[in-house]
Structure 1
Amino acid sequence: MKTDTLFTKPISKQFEFDADVAAVFDDMLIRSVPFYKESQSLTRRFALNALEKGGIVYDLGCSTASLLLEIERSIDERSAIRLIGIDNSAAMIEHARKKIEAYGSGIELYEGDILSFPYEKAQVIVSNYTLQFIRPMLRDTLVRTISDALDEGGVFIFSEKVVSEDPKLNKELIDCYYDFKKVQGYSEYEIVQKREALENVLIPYTMNENILMAKNSGFKTCEVLFRWANFATFIAIK
């Protein structure tokens, strides 16, 4: 796994999921997302709870397919579960393909737009730190599309960076997060560089805004499975 050193030099463009990011993405996630493995473990557990024989799981913004590989390792080969990853980054899909070939995996991968993908009816849809990169005017539409693509009783599990409704607390949450990144080996300079690269690219909602968005899009329940400071994992049930 290649170490993330992308922001040790001055940035020249806004953040995008290009070949440079894809090459270090697995390391970036572990070092940039607090309790990432624990959150992924919860996602896998609740996804498996919702799956039945012959069901479909979609991972929207699947990046390098790490979560789908974890789910695949936990299911019976005879269950005929289809695991489908979608990402609009050709570089991410390329890295994911290398992984699934190395593991002899049956995961299906598609380079495409999650806003217009022709979804089949699914039991589980997952989205890890993906909605926050969708423009707010399109985000509600995407979540409605996700709801429509799920079977009754199906689940949508999504992780997002969140903001607080209280400005003072929000600053404290951000400071807490930056301290976490420093412990992971990122310098103050790298943290500032990445923050500037993500400005107006990553647009987070509050916890309540995420829950309301899900409920307004056809989900009967939406709750928080896990939260650490300004990172949260939600489960919405149709």
Structure 2
Amino acid sequence: MNTDTLFSKPISKQFEFDADVAAVFDDMLVRSVPFYKESQALTRRFAANALSEGGIVYDLGCSTASMLLEIERSLPKNGTVRLVGIDNSAAMIEHARKKTEAFGSRIELVEGDILTYPYEKARVVISNYTLQFIRPMQREGLLRTIADALEEGGVFLFSEKVVSDDPRLNKELIDCYYDFKKTQGYSEYEIMQKREALENVLIPYTMNENVSMAKNSGFKTCDVLFRWANFATFIAIR
């Protein structure tokens, strides 16, 4: 796993999931997302529960396919679950293919647009820190598409960076997060550089906005499985 040092030098463009990011993405996730492994373990558990009788699981913005590989390892090897990862980054899909081939995985990988993909009926849809990169005007439409694609009782598991309605609390949450990143070896300069690169690219919602959006899009319920400061993992049930 390559070490993330992308923002140790001056940035020249906004953040994008290009070859440079793909090469260090696994390290970036673990060091940039608090309790990443724990939240992913919860996602894996609830996904496996919903897939007990088989079905399709889609990972939207699958990046290097780590989540799908974890789910695949937790399931019986009877072939009743179809695992599909979709990402619009060719570099991410290339890294995902190398990983899945190395593990002899049967995961299907698609370079495509999650907004227009022709989904089949699924039991599980996963979106890890992906919705926040979708333009707000398109976000609720995507959730309606996801809800329509899920079978009755199917689940949508998604993790997002969140903000607070209270400006003072929001600043404290951000400070808390930056302190976490420093403990992971990132310098103040790297933190500042990444923040600037993500400006107007990553647009987070509040906890309530995420829950309301899910319920307005056709989900019977939406609840929080995990939260640490300004990071949260949700489950929405069709």
Contact 1:53 1:79 in 2 (8 A): no
User: What are structure 1's unaligned runs of at least 5 residues?
Assistant: none
Could you tell me the TM-score, scaled by structure 2's length?
0.99
1:56-95 mapped onto 2 (5 Å cutoff): 56-95=56-95
Percent identity for Structure 1 against Structure 2: 83
* Residue in structure 2 matched with residue 15 of structure 1 by the alignment: 15
Distance 1:60 1:96 in 2: 13
* Residue in structure 2 matched with residue 209 of structure 1 by the alignment: 209
Distance 2:2 2:68 in 1: 20
What is the deviation of 1:77? 1.2
Q: What per-residue deviation string (whole Å, max 9, x for no partner) do you get for residues 149-199 of structure 1?
A: 000000000000000010000000000000000000000000000000000
Q: What per-residue deviation string (whole Å, max 9, x for no partner) do you get for residues 186-228 of structure 1?
A: 0000000000000000000000000000000000100000000
Q: What per-residue deviation string (whole Å, max 9, x for no partner) do you get for residues 100-142 of structure 1?
A: 0000000000000000001000000000000000000000000
1:1-238 mapped onto 2 (5 Å cutoff): 1-238=1-238
RMSD: 0.6
Could you tell me the TM-score, scaled by structure 1's length?
0.99
Distance 2:167 2:54 in 1: 47
Distance 2:172 2:69 in 1: 35
Distance 2:79 2:13 in 1: 45
Contact 1:226 1:232 in 2 (8 A): yes
What is the deviation of 1:79? 4.4
SS of the counterpart of 2:126?
Answer: strand
What is the deviation of 1:54? 3.4
Moved over 4 A (4+): none
Distance 1:54 1:208 in 2: 32
SS of the counterpart of 2:192?
Answer: helix
What is the deviation of 1:73? 0.4
User: What are structure 2's unaligned runs of at least 5 residues?
Assistant: none
Larger displacement relative to structure 2 (120-129 or 75-84)? 75-84
SS of the counterpart of 2:159?
Answer: strand
Distance 1:84 1:180 in 2: 33
Letter of the 1:3 counterpart: T
The count of aligned residue pairs is 238
SS of the counterpart of 1:77?
Answer: coil
